[in-house]
Amino acid sequence: MRPHAAVILRNAWKVNEGEQTQPRMWSWAAADLDVAERREHVEGLVGNRIALVRYVTIDYLREELHPELIDSGVRLIEDAREWELPTWRCDGFDAVDFGVELETMDGEIWSLTWDPPGNHEGIGIRKGPLIGSVVVPDRLTAVWDATLTSLWSPMLRAPIEAVELHYTPWDPPSPGFWCNRISFVTQDARLEVVMGDNEHGRLVASANNVAILAPETPLPPWSYLAD
């Protein structure tokens, strides 16, 4: 049975400072000022060039292929058998359980992931790693170096010119805004990341998974809600 990412992360989505236990919010914005802060923050990625891309997923095959590692921590996927058919690769999109780490040429790490589902949902991007801050580094976690084998490879040719956070009102007249799509733009490429998952080979809406779309894949209907 496929593990559920939200269940696995139930103890990870906490602010890792002192005794605070507020759910982490990278996407949800309670007011216009919060939207502005999210957009200003991600401007720090503009002008940088992506050097490495890591997909952070549930480790579906550890027990089957590497039982000797069953009690160890995060596993870097190196087994050729797994790379023959990566668990995240789908027809027209990549579906990633926990999120994406982007490492720039100067060594900065930016992470894209989803807010914990509940009263609000959405995807966001912040400077800093996923592993250890958002995702617990345990035996349920796998990391794939997807730099040259994923849909991100065209984005490596030039510096990032824009990162567009597509915010829309949450549920008018209720206050707040959510982001369900993030666009990455270079001089010759554009990449769309949405809230989405793989269901029997189809792209479906999901509050606890991110989908990276191939250039030929149209935006799904739920992402039209964004501005």
Q: Are 210 and 115 in contact, with CB atoms under 8 Å apart?
A: no
In a domain, 5, yes or no: no
pTM of this prediction? Answer: 0.87
Farthest-apart Cα atoms in the chain, separation: 54
Angstrom distance (rounded) from CA 42 to CA 110? 9
H/E stretch holding 37 reads helix 32-42
DSSP, res 62: H
Q: How many domains does the chain have?
A: 1
Identify whether 6 is part of a domain.
no
Q: Is residue 7 part of a domain?
A: no
| Torsion angles phi and psi, residue 181, rounded to 5 | -155, 140
Extract the tokens encoding 120.
């609000």
* Residue 81 or 156, more confident: 156
179 belongs to a structural domain: yes
9 part of a folded domain: no
pLDDT digits (tens, 9 = 90+) for 68-108: 666 677 888 988 888 999 999 999 999 999 999 999 999 99
What is each CA distance from 10 to 71, 115, 166, 213, in whole angstroms? 19, 12, 26, 27
Considering the domain boundaries, does residue 15 fall inside one?
no
In 3D space, the residue among 161, 210, 209, 154 whose CA is nearest the CA of residue 186 turns out to be 161
**Which tokens sit at 80?**
């050729």
User: Residue 21 has what pLDDT?
Assistant: 41
Residue 71 included in any domain: yes
* Range of the structural domain that residue 52 is part of: 27-225
Measured torsion, CA atoms of residues 79, 101, 216, 80, in degrees rounded to the nearest 10: 0
Residue 46 is assigned to a structural domain of this protein = yes
Give the pLDDT band (50/70/90) at residue 201.
very high
